[in-house]
Amino acid sequence: MKTKTMILISFLFLTIQVIGQENTKKIDFRLGAGISLLGTGDMLTFNYENELNLKLNHYFTSSLSLNLGKSINDNYSTSSFVQGNLNVFISPFKNSKRNDFRVGTGLTYYKISETYYTSAQYENGVLVDIQYNLENRRSYGFNVIIEDTYLLTDKFLIGLKLFTQPYYNGDINSGAMLKFGMRI
């Protein structure tokens, strides 16, 4: 009886150790910052992104992200937006090693506020009056993404993202972003 118990206990400890060593981290959180050309491609915008990724298998990953953007086009106009994205990525070379190259697509929704001047009045070369217009709009669109991520350690990662987001209202947002993340 003691021999069977010892074998069972040894087997359990060995199994627990093997399961503990297995890489089961399928979720990661990433922060990104970068620039894009917004609108019809004429507004240089600073972007900040929060992204949550779920690794489905060695080839597919899904993500949910929230982006904030701000642009100052010149002294008299500005724009800012809030954007939500739902994406699916494919890793053609497998996502099982330190480097993960992936391409993705998905849906995006954004709300943008733009302020720009419509007229300015000068007297003797000095600005004395300026009229502004505020425009709020929102739209759906889709994402096209190319991203490469490298695991610095078993927990921390760094990556570069290139993206374009055409919207149904005619706007487009295209740019690049540097990302840092952590496996959860």
Closest C-alpha among 67, 61, 7 to residue 32: 67
Q: How far apart are CA 36 and CA 30, in angstroms?
A: 18
**Cα separations (Å) of 99 from 17, 107, 152, 165?**
26, 25, 9, 25
Q: What is the pLDDT of residue 13?
A: 55
In the chain, where the domains are located: 25-183
pLDDT score at 25: 78
Q: Say yes or no to pLDDT of 2 above 70.
A: no
Name the maximum alpha-carbon separation found in the chain: 105
- The predicted pLDDT at position 72 comes to 73
Architecture of domain 25-183: Beta Barrel (2.40)
Structure-model confidence comparison of residues 131 and 12, the more confident one: 131
> DSSP string covering 157-168, please?
EEEEEEEEEEBT
- The pLDDT value recorded for residue 10 is 57
Among 59, 50, 56, which Cα is nearest to 85's?
50
pLDDT tens figures, 44-90: 999 999 999 999 999 999 999 999 999 977 667 888 999 999 999 99
